[in-house]
Structure 1
Amino acid sequence: MSTLPVVQIHTTPTLLHIDADIGQYSIRQPKAEVQLHTKPSKLTVQSHAIELNVDQSKAFSAYHGGNMIDMNARIYSGIQQLFMQNMAERVQQGNELAAIHKPGNTIANIIGTNWKSKPFPETRTPASMDNVDIRIETRAPSVRFEAAVSEMNVIVNKPEIEYQRGKLDIYVKQYASIQFTPTAIDLEL
């Protein structure tokens, strides 16, 4: 019997080598810048002087007659009044003289009582405790308030991002191969 020759087949697979490192991110963000400006509040108070007005013209008028215009007006109106009183007395005396026939209406009785002088019109005004007028004027202070004003400005800085690539090495560590090993052939037959 004859045997068939055997062939040995030996295979090796392909081996790939992969060496990889991951990339790295670097993120840095500077702090935000804050600018704050404040205008302070302001209070302004302005006070006004007190005004004191003293009017003594009535007191001066009672002391010595006051100013010339007012004193002349009083004299004029007083003389006018005296004239009217004297006129009334003369009319009355005339009426009494007309009725001389009545007992007691003698010329001596009628005209003899008229020997006293008439006073000159009063040039002064009556004295009174209300002759001095005092007036005090006050005004409330002017108050103005300006509120404080704040302004805030924020500057946001963008983040700084850096990326460093990783390493990727791929190579063949072992190539695929096929080996055929035949068996020894015996030629002596």
Structure 2
Amino acid sequence: MNVPQIQIQSTPARLGLTINKGQQTIRQPKAEQSIEQPQAEMSIKQRPGQLTIDQTKAWHNIDLKSIAERTKETAQVGEQKWMEGLARVASEGDELMRIEDGGNPISAQAERNAGFEFEVKPGGRPAYELVDVSYEPGGAEISVEPQKPIIHTTKRDPQTSLQPRNVTGFMEQYPDLKIDWKV
């Protein structure tokens, strides 16, 4: 016996897609910035120095002396001459005391005391060695007050552009179903 048969043939559907990728760009412009640095405030106070010039020795070198100095020098010379004279008189007295030893001490003393000696000192020491110069510098007061920088910044937002993704669908193959009978 022949049994009829059903023959089924199916074709599946196929979907096709066209995809355009999206694109995104981001650009970040640099921020604008300006910086100013004000000068620091500074003050300087300079106290004057102390200059001392002592030319007393130079004046003495050219024999220009004060009355007090002259009196002092004269007293020193007088005391020295008095001491020398005292020593001379004592020595001469001792000579006369020993007159019995012989010789002629009176004429020897008269001969020694008849003249006098003096000394001439030409010039003196150079004047540049005789002037005392001293300098004491004055102090300086320095104060500095720094100033903070002035900074101005203008920010820039990012610039973006977007092309969205695009998907398009289409049928590559349509579905199909065929049914057939065979006897």
When the two structures are superposed, what TM-score results if normalisation uses the length of structure 2? Answer: 0.49
Q: Which has the higher helix share?
A: 2
Structure label with greater radius of gyration: 1
Which fold has the larger relative contact order, with Cα–Cα distance below 8 Å and residues 6 or more apart in sequence?
2
When the two structures are superposed, what TM-score results if normalisation uses the length of structure 1? Answer: 0.48
